[in-house]
Amino acid sequence: MSRVSRRRVGLALEREIYLALAEVEDQHWWFRARRAIATRVLQGIELPANAAILEAGSGTGGNLAMLAQFGHLFAMELNPEARALSDRRSIAKAEEGMLPDRIPFGRQQFDLITAFDVLEHIEPDLETLVALRARLAAGGKLLLTVPAFGFLWSPHDESHHHKRRYRLAPLVRLVEHAGYRIILANYCNFWLFPIVAAARLLDRCKGVRYQNVAQLSIPPAPFNRLLEAVFASERYLHEVVRLPFGVSIILLAQRI
């Protein structure tokens, strides 16, 4: 397959992913629970009145309404399909941008930057953290989530163009090396970790190498509510206990 053909296949797959996400992310238990956890974290920090907030890698806009509660919102996203879907929400216009070296909005400094499941897509992750730090105002904060544990690597990671999954301690060191002070760092999606790990390992044993992203769907309503409640309940744990493992990591840091 030629490079042009591979690029066309890649663009078609990205379009399929973003269309699937836009269909489900407002109601799907995983996205709703992650927003509940992020909301709890943000409620616990001090932000200036009318804080300038940047969502880096805003995707199809599923987090915009949540983030808009905390200040004046800016959004950046590389994929044009995702930007178009995001702009339909009429919350914050997503500008074209790419990490680490094409952050829009001129010289605007931000009081908070969020990157939800973004860092794992970028090869130069340290350079990205440094670039985001440069756009934070004095005392500004970075909130990010990333997928955890390399042994959980799956067709999902392949189809979403992930470069890596992280462990907590090395991620903390990386963020500190980029010039931040850690406020909160913890695994999340702890309760459901055994189920997810078993499913990923079973797929590996069966030789599953492809995930049809168009099949991403919302479970039946009672099951969807149950999974959301279980996952979201962790928002009360992160402040008091270091969870030993999880499917993802959540990290809040401050520029120093």
Q: Which residues of the chain have pLDDT under 70?
A: 1-13, 208-215
- Residue range 201-222, pLDDT digits in tens: 888 888 766 555 545 789 999 9
Domain residues for 56?
3-255
Q: What is the pLDDT of residue 215?
A: 54
* pLDDT for the residue 16: 80
Domain count across the chain: 1
According to the model, what pLDDT value does residue 212 have? 54
Residues 56-85 pLDDT 10s: 999 999 999 999 999 999 999 999 999 999
The pTM assigned to this predicted structure is 0.92
pLDDT of residue 213: 54
Tokens representing 64?
């915009």
CATH of the domain at 80: 3.40.50.150
* pLDDT of amino acid 17: 82
